Amino acid sequence: MPSGDPPLTLADLREIPLVRLKGVGEALDKKLAMMELRTVLDLLQHYPRRWVDRTKKADIAALEVGEEATVFAEVRSAKGRRTRQGRALVEVVVSDGTSLLNISFYNQAWREKQLSPGTEASFFGKLDVYRGKRQMTNPVVDVIGRAGVADEKTGVIVPIYPQSGKADVYTWQLRTIVSEALAKCKARGFADPIDESILDANDLVDRNTALRAIHRPESMPELGAAKQRLIFDEFLRMQVGLVARKRAFAAEQSGIRHDTSGALVDAFLAQLPFALTGDQASALAEIVRDMGAPAPMHRLLQGDVGSGKTVVALAALLTAVQGGYQGAFMAPTEVLAEQHYFGSVRMLEGLTVAAEGGLFADRPVRVELLTNKTPAAERRRISAGLQNGEVDILVGTHALLYGDATFSKLGCVVVDEQHRFGVEQRALLRGKGDEPDVLVMTATPIPRTAAMLIYGDLDRSELREMPPGRTPIATKVVPPNPLDHEAAWEKLRQEIGAGHQAYVVCPLVEDKGKVEAKAATAEYERLQEEELKGLRVGLLHGQMKSAEKEAAMAAFRAHEIDVLVATTVIEVGVDVPNATVMVVEDADRFGLSQLHQLRGRVGRGTAESYCFLFGDPSTEDGEIRLSAMADSTDGFALAEVDLEIRGAGQVFGEKQSGMSDLKLGRIPRDEEAVMQARAVAEAILDDDPALTRHAQLRAEVEELLGDDVEFLFKS
């Protein structure tokens, strides 16, 4: 390439297939494709998973017994055999020029093949003595090179690439190809989407330096700076997209200016048996302000289980209703939709709105429930009411969006969600008439950093304060032995005796659905014969018909049932204040946020509540989760722990959150980089809203967001 050409953008790199590199023939190209490596961009973003620092190396001859160290050595021999106990043992002899060292690998038969004579590798472990010989047992191994493979000489810091045995591509090959790629790009260099002044102000190296140094660092500080810059880039692309989307929403004038004078909302608040908490009041004020403005509301209402989101949501819906608009309340499951429906009917009882036509006539606020199970005649009746404006609030599942429900004047949508309410769903709403205001509620407390990534395009209100009068939930991890179990069941029976109710959550079953339902049914039958004998026991699982579920919930609510044996269908939102005991069987197998949600089903009234987590914390994560549960009832604190354990992709779902685009960046670890990227994204968009002067950055964001980007950067 002539050096007069401009520096290479990511888009340029995506255009260069790997076969164009020296050393990549058709066969290797096929193998690389199996690893999703097709272009030079893919390759350069296939970052090392580890870097081994040769300056930290120890000489074998100088190692002391008991010392932990890394040695760099060449394999002399590797032989596999079985021990007398039948364990696989691979005995390897290595040398680093100062001395020989014996290494034993137990239960790693594959090491014999991996460490063939001539292989160069680093070994990290502890030196011990066995039968008078100095040796290491099961050290951490990073293969650096293989005998007879012409190989790029590695520097002081050796990059170890994610390799693939299946594709038959190894780290030393990748190292060679990456070097080829870097050499090929050297003359033109890599273009930077960010102005130098911004880089300087944020103490970031340029992309050219960073992309080289991540693969070929000459020192650990240089590597650190490279990572910092590339992590920043990952977050910046996301934040530019999110901030642009947020601003595009705010700039829209197509929303409804709701009547915020508040007669109906005031009447509603006045008839509640309690006063709003400070957080509820300020969240509602923010919502009402949004709804009165011409830009459609896009707000997230975040609050732990039991923090009182539903009241705020109803007030938002009534803000629409009082001006003659309709509201929709969407829940993630049918059980929840039913629950929201009954709750709404109860709380809205006695409220009236002006009847259509009759100037002085008032009629009750009308709430309806529409789910997949609603019978046809009922459906027609509701549908007619929606179209002539007589249904004020429609409660249902997310299926409301996709169904044929036609509102005459939809003004506000509340989405009680488990997953990301995405762009596609918003587009559907926009298609249902005037653009309604949208309030997304989430009961999963989301740490601030994660919220900035996942909901960075929404305004956010938080309910951190719990309504008064809650008694804390005593949480106990119950170890797997009959005595401890019996003590927990005894407490449950005492609580029932005192007139309270309880939940028992059945073990998770891997292969969900039918199998889980069967397991729950079996446990339900067993408990009735044993621990819960003589009590009124009900069953709730996902495979039951809607009417059966409804009946079970209704019976529990009406206290015709003492103990509800259930699968995780009761996870979210179910609200029976008289329930004071939650037993979770096999609790170590549940996720932390799930456990927190389950525990939130009790402690909703004024009586002291108990949560028993049956579990065998044999895995490390299980142990961390259960003890975190015993230590804290603060959902935000638990959410942080959850994020640390599972990582963002797992917690929020790879696809929904765009987390899969994070190759180096990780939250909560990289919180600072997220905040920095947010600030830079805002500054850039302040200065250049349509990114006309930042074409490269714009192209990168568009690449990330795909089709959903069109309306973002219109000038």
Q: Which residues bind ligand ADP (CB under 6 A)?
A: 274, 276-277, 280, 303, 305-311, 443, 467, 575, 577, 604
- Closest to ligand ADP by CB, 18 vs 265, is 265
Nearest to 638 by CA among 368, 446, 493, 468: 446
Ranked by CB distance to Mg ion, the top (closest) residue is: 255
Residue 680 interface partner, choices ligand ADP, Mg ion, none, CB cut-off 5-8 Å depending on type: none
Stretch that binds Mg ion, among 255-263, 423-431, 519-527, 620-628 (CB under 5 A): 255-263
- Binder of Mg ion out of 255, 306, 542, 600 (CB under 5 A): 255
CA distance 446 to 418: 12
- Rule CB under 5 A: which of 427-486 touch Mg ion? 437
Q: Which residues contact 278 (CB under 8 A, 6 or more apart)?
A: 465
Residue with tokens 């009082």: 322
- Closest to Mg ion by CB, 192 vs 437, is 437
Question: How is residue 616 written in tokens?
Answer: 């065998």
Nearest to 425 by CA among 405, 402, 443: 402
- Closest to ligand ADP by CB, 274 vs 402, is 274
Q: What is the SS3 assignment for 247?
A: helix
- Closest to ligand ADP by CB, 135 vs 310, is 310
Residue 397 interface partner, choices Mg ion, ligand ADP, none, CB cut-off 5-8 Å depending on type: none
CA distance 447 to 678: 16
CB 80 within 8 A of CB 109: yes
The string of DSSP letters for 305-372 reads TTS-HHHHHHHHHHHHHTTT-EEEEEESSHHHHHHHHHHHHHHHTT-EEEPSS-SS-EEE--EEEE-T
Residue 303 interface partner, choices Mg ion, ligand ADP, none, CB cut-off 5-8 Å depending on type: ligand ADP
**Helices vs. strands in the chain: H and E counts, helices first:** 26, 23
Residue 445 interface partner, choices Mg ion, ligand ADP, none, CB cut-off 5-8 Å depending on type: none
CA distance 348 to 362: 15
What pairs with residue 416 in β-bridges?
441
- Closest to ligand ADP by CB, 60 vs 639, is 639
The CB-side HSE value for 447 (13 A sphere, CA atoms) comes to: 21
Residue with tokens 């109860």: 346
Give least dist CB 593 to ligand ADP, A. 14
Nearest to 329 by CA among 302, 301, 367, 277: 367
Q: Which residues contact 160 (CB under 8 A, 6 or more apart)?
A: 48, 49, 50, 51, 52, 142, 144, 171
What pairs with residue 167 in β-bridges?
none
Give least dist CB 311 to ligand ADP, A. 5
Residue 308 interface partner, choices Mg ion, ligand ADP, none, CB cut-off 5-8 Å depending on type: ligand ADP
- Closest to ligand ADP by CB, 414 vs 626, is 414
Give least dist CB 316 to ligand ADP, A. 13
- Closest to Mg ion by CB, 288 vs 638, is 288
Give least dist CB 443 to ligand ADP, A. 6
What pairs with residue 713 in β-bridges?
none
Give least dist CB 437 to Mg ion, A. 5
Residue 443 interface partner, choices ligand ADP, Mg ion, none, CB cut-off 5-8 Å depending on type: ligand ADP
Residue 255 interface partner, choices ligand ADP, Mg ion, none, CB cut-off 5-8 Å depending on type: Mg ion
Give least dist CB 258 to Mg ion, A. 6
CA distance 506 to 590: 11
Give least dist CB 557 to ligand ADP, A. 12
411 binds Mg ion (CB under 5 A): no
Residue 309 interface partner, choices ligand ADP, Mg ion, none, CB cut-off 5-8 Å depending on type: ligand ADP
Question: How is residue 445 written in tokens?
Answer: 């407390």
- Closest to ligand ADP by CB, 345 vs 699, is 345
Q: Which amino acid is at 203?
A: D
Nearest to 439 by CA among 284, 662, 237, 219: 284
Cα Rg of the chain (Å, integer): 31
Give least dist CB 277 to ligand ADP, A. 5
Residue 277 interface partner, choices ligand ADP, Mg ion, none, CB cut-off 5-8 Å depending on type: ligand ADP
Give least dist CB 276 to ligand ADP, A. 5
Give least dist CB 347 to ligand ADP, A. 8
Contact footprint for Mg ion (CB under 5 A): 255, 291, 437
